[in-house]
Structure 1
Amino acid sequence: MRRKSLTHLGETEMEVLHHVWDLGEATVADVRERILEDRDVAYTTIMTVMKKLAEKGYLDYHKEGRSYVYQPAQEPDAVQHSLLQRLMEKVFQGSPSALVQTLVQREELSEEERAEIRGLIDVLEEEEDDSNDVDDNS
């Protein structure tokens, strides 16, 4: 029996998607060239992965001469949010605080990363305070 992926995107699909996001638009050869810096991969493998990503709605493409040029169909943050939502629901029973708590307690966070997380929370609280002030004044 095949195990179902937590995110519905495989590791190679995520890797390819990151390369297309970085490049803005790319051919199969462009993506393969980048992956070859780390490991050997067949052209046909990358071609198949990019076609699947297009079928799943993550990439769009157009034809230039004999090549297909792929570009993101969705913004990276939208895809990441969707994948994180799915992970949160499956692993943390839909609890954002359980996800963050596990991340913060289990990861070796640098002082800079901890400060960045605190800053993000501060911004959220400021935005919440600002929206409450607007509501109070109406």
Structure 2
Amino acid sequence: MQELTKAQEDILKALWKIDDGAVSDILDQIPEPKPAYNTVATVVKVLEKKGYVDHKTYGKTNVYFPLISQDTYAKKLMKSTIGSFFNGSIKQMVSHFVKDKDINIHELESLKEMIEKEIKTQKK
């Protein structure tokens, strides 16, 4: 999976919101300050070359659609981050955020509940 720039990721997020659309539709999904139309068109073409986006042509209009889901992208990005920064260890990643107090008590309790539920599921 090729790494994306912030601009490319923002365009892909906008496309995920609408499932498919022309450059103008994608531009409508981007918050202010909006980039120029030509900038969005260029970024979409780069995403297409990288294999994240494809298009269908209707007359003179290209309608773009994502080739990767947001969930799949997030999983690949997290695996890459965990591998690069935490030696492939989810435990090290979570420990990092807990020790730095980046997770509040409510998030910790929620995580604990999710983990306990998953442990029960996997033991069955």
Same fold (TM over 0.5): yes
| RMSD across aligned positions (CA) | 1.9
Tell me if 1:30 matches 2:20: no
Q: Distance in 2 between matches of 1:64 and 1:104?
A: 51
Q: Aligned partners of 1:117, 1:71: CA distance in 2, in Å?
A: 34
- For the residues of structure 2 that align with 1:22 and 1:104, how far apart are their CA atoms? 32
Does 1:71 find its partner at 2:65? yes
Q: How does 1:56-67 map to 2 (within 5 A)?
A: 56-67=50-61
Q: Residue type matched to 1:64 in 2?
A: Y
Paired residues, what number? 122
Unaligned segments of structure 2, at least 5 residues:
none
- Once the 2 structures are TM-superposed, how far is the Cα of residue 118 of structure 1 from its aligned partner? 2.2
Mapping of residues 111-130 of structure 1, within 5 Å: 111=106, 113-130=107-124
Q: In the TM superposition, what whole-angstrom CA distance separates every residue of 1:6-61 from its partner, at most 9, and x where no partner exists?
A: x71110111111111111112111121222x3213111111111111112121121
CA distance in 1, matches of 2:105, 2:87: 28
Unpaired segments ≥5 residues, structure 1: 1-6, 131-138
Give runs of ≥4 in structure 1 deviating > 6 Å: none
- Within the alignment, does 1:93 sit opposite 2:108 as a pair? no
Counterpart among 75, 81, 86 of residue 75 in structure 2: 81
Deviation, 1:127, is 2.1
Q: Name the CA distance, whole Å, in 1 between partners of 2:41 and 2:17.
A: 18
Residue 20 (1) aligns with residue 15 (2): yes
SS in structure 2 at match of 1:94:
coil
Report the equivalent of 2:6.
11
CA distance in 1, matches of 2:64, 2:55: 4
Q: CA deviation at 1:81?
A: 0.7
Q: Secondary structure at the match of 2:81?
A: helix
- For residue 47 of structure 2, the aligned residue among 41, 53, 68 is 53
Pick closer, same or farther for the CA change 1:47–1:126 going to 2, 3 Å. Answer: same
